[in-house]
Chains A and B, each alone.
Chain A
């Protein structure tokens, strides 16, 4: 078992993150069912479309609280390094793809993908730190 799972902060993280991810999934389904394609912006469509974003924000807050509340300082440092690598990874993709979009006719990268890309960056960070410490 990874030592982070034994940190009491991780239990608190799960109690925050799991409900938020369930709300996110439900909100995505709700928005897909309730809002027709190419619907114009109205208070109702905006309200429904904001729900998944709100759930996403809670997930990001839960991840931030994990970093703040972790008691093992070395494991916290590892997680912070991973988050920094993920941030660099996501920013590099956003900047590079954005310039490609500006100068060529590549498909547009939906902005809502930035959070999943950042999460993918955590895996890159994990791999990088593993290779570096080997």
Chain B
């Protein structure tokens, strides 16, 4: 699954660590999601959407 995490992060000038702290996950998790190595669970996807104040479908896109 593709995602816009890197772009959204860059718009806010957040590092992966900044986003990880906001989501209460490890930086490795953010990196894995951002690079498409790992698709987050629905609860985590909702948390990501909340952090960016967007809808899940605005962040995650089907391949």
Contacts and interface: CB of A to CB of B under 8 A. Distances in A.
Q: Answer yes or no: do A and B interact.
A: yes
Interface of A: 3, 6, 71-75, 77, 133
B40 A3 contact: no
Given A3-B27, A3-B28, A6-B26, A73 B37 contact: no
Contacts of B28: 3, 74-75
A67 to B, nearest CB: 15
Contacts of B44: 73
B38 A72 contact: no
A72 B37 contact: no
Interface of A is mostly: helix
Given A72-B25, A74-B28, A133-B37, 10 more contacts: A3-B28, A6-B26, A72-B26, A72-B29, A73-B29, A73-B41, A74-B26, A74-B38, A75-B26, A75-B28
Interface in B1-37: 24-29, 32-33, 37
A74 B29 contact: yes
A72 to B, nearest CB: 5
A77 B33 CA distance: 13
26 contacts: A3-B26, A3-B27, A3-B28, A6-B26, A71-B24, A72-B25, A72-B26, A72-B29, A73-B25, A73-B29, A73-B40, A73-B41, A73-B44, A74-B25, A74-B26, A74-B28, A74-B29, A74-B32, A74-B33, A74-B38, A74-B40, A75-B26, A75-B28, A75-B29, A77-B38, A133-B37
Interface in B27-63: 27-29, 32-33, 37-38, 40-41, 44
A6 B28 CA distance: 12
Q: Which 5 A-B pairs have the closest CB atoms?
A: A3-B26, A74-B29, A72-B26, A72-B25, A74-B38
Contacts of B33: 74
A6 B21 CA distance: 12
